[in-house]
Copies of this chain bind each other. A is one copy, B any other.
Amino acid sequence: MAKNNITKQADNFPQWYQDVIREAELADNSEVRGCGIVRPYGLKIWELIKAELNRRLEDDGVENVYFPIFVPLENLMAEKDHVKGFAPELAIVTHGGGEELVNKLAVRPTSEAAMYKTYARWIQSYKDLPLRLNQWANVVRWEKRPRAFLRWSEFLWQEGHTVFVSEDEARLEVDKILNIYSDIYKFMALPAFIGRKSESEKFAGAVMTKTTEIMVKDGKAVQGATSHYLGTNFAKVFDVKFLGADGKFHLGHQNSWGLSWRSVGALIMGHGDDNGLRLPPNVAPVQVVIIPIYKNDESKEAVMLYCENIKNDLAKSYRVKTDEREDLSPGFKFNYWEVRGVPLRLEIGLKEVESKSVSVFRRDKETKELINLSELKTSLENLMLDIHNNLYQQAKDFADSHIYRIESLDEIDGRLGWFEASWSEDPESEKMLKEKYSMVSRVLVPENENKAPKNKKCFITGKQAKHDWYFAKSY
């Protein structure tokens, strides 16, 4: 245990994660098993991610909609793969308004089955397409082994649901959205591995799933967001058809895609260190914290005035906060904001006031420098950019240096990281891998999809390999 009540990453990474969430006041346990409370500091991170993604989606012509939280069970049962995937995780409402319901309702685990009957009503002709709607909502998937942000029974997310005239158009959008998701992770200074999921790992009911996978600092994977081509699987079931330009009826080609507050979990695990969170400026609720340091009333007055002027000046460009708490020492405050990952800390005492300067501490490198007041604004601009780039580069270097090429199962060992292997894509082999090694395929990246596997033989079955895939344990 360090000064900050946080377990060291190397000692127990999952415990470190829980400790950081508690100490940085990101989230808390609730009265309901499996569900969490997201506290203001944690929720603000999600709101910043959400605002950026919403802007990107709106710019791309997607419109927001809101469908009910309840889904008639019979709708959920209609698509056979979908129900198989979600039935074990449902929360069921059996009573409403004091009466037992004739038709039981599920709390939505995702909204394909909630939306597409209505889509069928809205869509008449090819002129109504593409239909591209998105919903910011809570969903419930009952979790036996909950983990904060990554695996709570209730979570907040966005789910896009789109309909196209042709398969080509739909598949193009799958990639377009995947690239937006990848950009959102870049916004969080996290490099994402994007590409296709295996047949066993794809979304229940989809023809194909593409994913955004993040390597976190214990070498495991976090699925950051997914983009699915649903084909006409749901269109058949819910009768989503349109009158084409050819005067005939056709089934719509559908996609769905989602990013949730798991992204906050990936962010914590992707950047944090033994001292707590490290936040890239884009998603830091507080980008600059000012700590006044004084010994007596006289120095206090001068210091506080100096701090206030700087704060007012910086507040035009940054989310800035002065920690004015009287009964806490500067040392306590340094630690308090370090745990919370604030990118820049300004330490201001009489020395700084008298020399017209500011001591600037950057959280990512834990270095401090004295900056002239006249150069503060330019320096901060550069520092913010440099912190973002440094965090990104560190995460990228870590990921790049923790992917190990293997040719056979024997080579899977305790190394932190992912394994790259040539694989037959045989579902049975993946099942075995999951059971014996707690590991599945994470993603087939485009570079590997577009070339022959390095080894002709599958590393598990010895049969013909199809591509080089990444395999990893995951959260």
**CB < 8 Å neighbour of A64 from B35, B40, B66, B94:** B40
Cα–Cα distance between A114 and B432 once the two chains are bound (Å): 43
Q: Which residues of B contact A93 (CB under 8 A)?
A: 91-94, 107
Bound-state Cα–Cα, A35 to B44, Å: 29
User: A36 is contacted by which of B68, B96, B97 (Cβ under 8 Å)?
Assistant: B68
> Mask for A80-112, Cβ within 8 A of B = 1, else 0?
000000011111111111100000010100000
Contact-residue size bin, chain A (C-beta under 8 Å from the other chain): 35 or more
Chain B residues, Cβ within 8 Å of A88:
97-98
Q: Is the CB of B69 within 8 A of A140?
A: yes
Tell me if A416 is interfacial: C-beta within 8 Å of chain B.
Answer: no
Q: Counting CB contacts under 8 A, is A72 at the interface? A: yes
A138 within 8 A of B: yes
Decide if A117 is an interface residue (CB 8 Å cutoff): yes
Which residue of the partner chain B has the closest CB to A117? B31
**Docked CA distance A44–B54 (Å):** 12
Q: How many copies of this chain? A: 2
Q: Which residues of B contact A118 (CB under 8 A)?
A: 28, 30-31, 37
Answer yes or no: A43 CB below 8 A from chain B CBs.
yes
Interface 0/1 of A344-385, CB less than 8 Å to B: 000000000000000000000000000000000000000000
Task: Given the known inter-chain contacts A30-B67, A31-B114, A43-B64, please indicate yes or no for A92 contacting B89, CB distance below 8 A.
Answer: no
Task: Say yes or no: is A38 at the interface (Cβ < 8 Å to chain B).
Answer: yes
Q: What is the CA–CA distance of A75 and B37 in the complex, to the nearest angstrom? A: 16
A70 located at the interface, meaning its Cβ lies under 8 Å from any Cβ of chain B in the complex: yes
Q: Are A37 and B87 in contact (CB under 8 A)?
A: no
Question: Is A65 a contact partner of B91 (Cβ separation < 8 A)?
Answer: no
Q: Note all chain B residues with C-beta closer than 8 A to A87.
A: 98
Q: A35's contact among B36, B70, B90, by CB below 8 Å, is which?
A: B70
Determine if A71 is an interface residue (Cβ-Cβ < 8 Å).
yes
Task: Judge if A47 is at the interface, Cβ distance under 8 Å.
Answer: yes
Could you tell me the distance between the alpha carbons of A318 and B146 in the complex, rounded to whole angstroms? 45
Whether A68 touches B142, Cβ cut-off 8 Å, given contacts A91-B93, A93-B92, is no
In chain A between 33 and 52, which residues have their CB closer than 8 angstroms to a CB of chain B?
35-40, 43-44, 47
For residue A406, CB closer than 8 A to chain B, the reply is: no
Q: A37-B66, A43-B66 are in contact. Are A92 and B94 (CB under 8 A)?
A: yes
A-B interface, 10 closest residue pairs, ranked by CB to CB distance from nearest: A97-B142, A35-B68, A40-B63, A92-B95, A38-B66, A94-B94, A96-B142, A32-B70, A91-B96, A32-B68
13 intermolecular pairs with C-beta atoms under 8 Å apart: A31-B68, A31-B72, A32-B68, A35-B70, A37-B66, A37-B67, A43-B64, A44-B63, A69-B140, A70-B154, A91-B105, A93-B107, A94-B94
Residues of A within 8 A of B (CB): 28, 30-32, 35-40, 43-44, 47, 63-72, 75, 87-98, 105, 107, 114, 117-118, 133, 137-138, 140, 142-144, 153-154, 156
